[in-house]
Amino acid sequence: MGPIVNLIREAGAAEVHVRIASAPIRFPCFMGIDMSSKKELIAAQMSVEEICNHVGADSLMYLSVEEMKKVVQGTERCDHCAACFSGKYPIAIGDQEKFEFEQIQGE
């Protein structure tokens, strides 16, 4: 995101306001999507304000988990997993890292 913000500024933008169409991903996915460990997720390490400063934007906003759920209400399946956003997994995970969890599941 930082290089894109810089390119926009170099093109003459006076301000750059970033909007992300999801909630911040703060937790790894253990449910089948190959997603980073918590230490590799920027939203798990920094606040929204810190991320905004890190990428050099004037403002940064994400959707909330509740706003995301509103988007999918009324769809055939509205019980989508949101664990990577909320940390509330549909099964007990504990404090294991994704790699450890996958090793246990593969046995």
Helix axes 48-55, 2-10, angle to 10 degrees: 50
Average pLDDT over residues 5-27: 96
* β-sheet bridge partners, residue 62: 20
Please report which residue ranges of the chain form alpha helices under DSSP H: 2-10, 42-45, 48-55, 65-72, 83-86, 98-106
Residues whose CB falls within 8 Å of the CB of residue 68, separated by 6 or more in sequence, listed in order? 22, 23, 82, 85
Q: Are 62 and 24 in contact (CB under 8 A)?
A: yes
Supply the pLDDT for residue 53: 98
Backbone angles phi, psi at 25, to 5 degrees: -85, 110
36-70: pLDDT as tens digits: 688 889 999 999 999 999 999 999 999 998 888 88
Domain boundaries, the chain: 2-106
Supply the pLDDT for residue 100: 56
Distances (CA, A) of 37 to 34, 56, 61, 70: 10, 25, 23, 28
